[in-house]
Amino acid sequence: MDSTLSRDTMTSYLESIQPILNKIPTVEGPKRHVHFKKKLLWTIAVLILYFVLTNVPLFGLGEGIDLFSHYRAIMAGQQGSLMQLGIAPIVDAGIVLQLLVGAGILGLNLSNPKDQQIYQNLQKFLVVFFCFVLAVPQVYGGFLAPDPGLAETLGVPIAIIEIILIAQVVIGGLIIMYLDEVVSKWGIGSGVGLFIIAGVSQQLIQGLFYWRSPPMSDELAVGILPRLIQILGDWSMAELLSLGGLRFLLLRGGLLAIIGTLVVFVVVIYTENTRVEIPLSHASVRGARGRYPIKLIYASVLPIIFVHVLQANIQLIGRILWNSNIPLIGNNPIIGQFVGDRAVSGIAFYFSMISGPYDWIPSLAREQYAQLGVIVSDWQILLHIFVYLAFFIIGSIVFAIFWVRTTGMAAGDVAEQINQSGMQIPGFRSNINIIEKILDRYIPKVTVLGGLLLGVIAAFANFLGTIGMATGTGILLTVGILYRMYEEMAEEQLMEMYPALRNMFE
């Protein structure tokens, strides 16, 4: 009784602030059907604009530390550019809303158009909020340091340059929000998915072909193909076929990264094609039949983004606290000690990214951390592996469940959609409760199983390592999003060929 009353109170409050939320500018959707070619042009135009904006540097930026260097491909941002935040504010807003709606705190029924509008407006407000929440600590925490020379040249206090930097980072986050909205309403797929594909593809191309060596290296090229050419030129065949040579080829040569990338491609494509299909027939039109597919990855690959961004936020908070002067918290190794952009102890370390064999094989991990001047014990490495796997797998399951509940994919929502379309399951009465009962045999189980599988695939790929800094999760997301975009494009083309079919579904 009390919980129902509190939900009603929350809903009434949200309705009361709706006029304020409505003042947030929005991209107007099309009034009628948008031709496929026009959608494709909008998508390409947004993608080109995104790449241009990633090359627009922040005015007034001096030195900077990339807090999200290990997450850049998934965050779809570029350090020191207008796209500094990438999709992080959008995903953070989505995490908060999914938790609040999934727990029933907001009391919103997302099958109701009015509640959908409240949800969308509230999400925009939270995106704006998170743009500031993520921008302010990066500037005032010293991670995006203002250029003192510019302040002196302009004759203004350094605080003015800091405010200008914050304004640019926030504006960049808002641009990403509206570009996402343009793609969702006028293009193909979603802007978030498109930007992830762009970021990961860029990392893959660089990881394959970039011929230069990183600073302070042993002069092996960054790109795997130039690196292999170097190795084949310097090593004899007998040396390469020895145990040490094969180990060098797998780890330093990048063959293990290629294997990891190919494995993710194959596994994700296979799982995307694995499904249970519920037969459907029209209640009044004889011969009209169809199927409702319940895919193994039912909640799509997007919930894994939430897990990754949540992990990145833990690193951000840990790094800010490490640099702070707060008593008992600042410089506290229990919370997390950082060397450069890497957590080397404490909570932040155990929740940090594993991005290849050098992060989890004890002998390799000890060697890597020794280069940073840190001694890491075997038990710390094993605990890091356990925490990382538990966080990834449990987080993936939880967000998959919330995603299904908040996107109209739950058994009750799907049953209502099937019933409203006039379809029914052959051999059963045309009753929404019966349809929901049958769907309930599959959807909850497949949601949990799909979330579990997503977490395992992403973690496994991260353990093997991938080409460039794409990460296993980035490859997984890219393949999954591309596959969904392919399906959507095929559906769009089918609708263009058969307008009558489009009218049935609109």
User: At which of 159, 187, 215 does a domain end?
Assistant: 187
pLDDT of residue 162: 92
Residues 267 and 405 in one domain: yes
Residues 277 and 411 in one domain: yes
Give the whole-angstrom CA distance, residue 461 versus residue 355. Answer: 8
CA dist 416 → 87, 146, 444 (Å) = 32, 55, 16
Give the whole-angstrom CA distance, residue 46 versus residue 38. Answer: 12
**Structural contact between residues 6 and 142, judged by C-beta atoms closer than 8 angstroms:** no
In a domain, 124, yes or no: yes
Residue 447: phi and psi, rounded to 5, are -60, -45
Tell which phi-psi region holds residue 468, choosing left (phi > 0), alpha (psi between -120 and 50) or beta.
left
Residues 305 and 158 in one domain: no
Beta strands of 106-237 (E only): which ranges? 144-146
Find all residues with CB under 8 Å of 107, minimum gap 6, and list them: 7, 8, 10, 11
Which helix (DSSP H) or strand (DSSP E) does residue 294 occupy? strand 289-295
pLDDT lower than 50: segments of the chain: 1, 3, 5, 501, 504-505
Domain range for 121 is 1-23+41-187
Short-list 92, 87, 299, CA closest to 180: 87
CA atoms within 13 A on the CB side of 187: 23
**Structural contact between residues 302 and 400, judged by C-beta atoms closer than 8 angstroms:** no
In a domain, 171, yes or no: yes
Give the whole-angstrom CA distance, residue 112 versus residue 118. Answer: 10
In a domain, 181, yes or no: yes
* Count of domains for the chain: 2
Which CATH number characterizes residue 177's domain?
Answer: 1.10.3370.10
Residues 166 and 266 in one domain: no
Residues 503 and 384 in one domain: yes
Secondary structure of residue 314 in the 3-state scheme: helix
Give the tokens for residue 154. Answer: 């302009």
Give the whole-angstrom CA distance, residue 227 versus residue 453. Answer: 33
Length of the chain equals 506
Residues 358 and 492 in one domain: yes
pLDDT of residue 448: 92
**Structural contact between residues 222 and 210, judged by C-beta atoms closer than 8 angstroms:** yes
Short-list 123, 135, 126, CA closest to 170: 135
User: At which of 170, 187, 204 does a domain end?
Assistant: 187
Give the whole-angstrom CA distance, residue 190 versus residue 477. Answer: 13
Q: Quick one: 237 exposed, middle or buried, by C-beta within 10 A (0-12, 13-18, 19+)?
A: exposed
Bridge partners, 424 (sequence order): 281
pTM exceeds 0.75, yes or no? yes
pLDDT of residue 5: 45
Residues 280 and 409 in one domain: yes
Per-residue model confidence as pLDDT tens digits over 127-179: 999 999 989 988 887 788 899 888 888 889 999 999 999 999 999 999 999 99
Residues 160 and 283 in one domain: no
Residues 156 and 269 in one domain: no
In a domain, 196, yes or no: no
Give the whole-angstrom CA distance, residue 431 versus residue 425. Answer: 9
In a domain, 281, yes or no: yes
Short-list 300, 311, 306, CA closest to 343: 311
Residues 61 and 167 in one domain: yes
21: amino acid identity, one letter: L
Find all residues with CB under 8 Å of 116, minimum gap 6, and list them: 110
Bridge partners, 291 (sequence order): 279
Residues 266 and 388 in one domain: yes
Task: Provide the CA 281 distance to its chain's centre, in angstroms.
Answer: 37
Q: What is the largest CA-CA distance in the chain?
A: 80
Residues 163 and 280 in one domain: no
User: At which of 160, 187, 214 does a domain end?
Assistant: 187
DSSP 24-62: S--PPPPSSPPPHHHHHHHHHHHHHHHHHHTTSBPTTEE
In a domain, 217, yes or no: no
Short-list 473, 489, 495, 493, CA closest to 44: 489
**Structural contact between residues 145 and 63, judged by C-beta atoms closer than 8 angstroms:** yes
Give the whole-angstrom CA distance, residue 150 versus residue 143. Answer: 18
Per-residue model confidence as pLDDT tens digits over 420-463: 777 778 777 777 888 888 888 888 899 999 899 888 888 888 88
Give the whole-angstrom CA distance, residue 7 versus residue 30. Answer: 34
Residue 285: phi and psi, rounded to 5, are -105, 110
**Structural contact between residues 308 and 74, judged by C-beta atoms closer than 8 angstroms:** yes
In a domain, 95, yes or no: yes
Secondary structure of residue 275 in the 3-state scheme: strand
pLDDT of residue 1: 44
Q: Which residue has the tokens 């970021």?
A: 199
Give the whole-angstrom CA distance, residue 188 versus residue 51. Answer: 18
In a domain, 212, yes or no: no
Give the whole-angstrom CA distance, residue 472 versus residue 396. Answer: 14
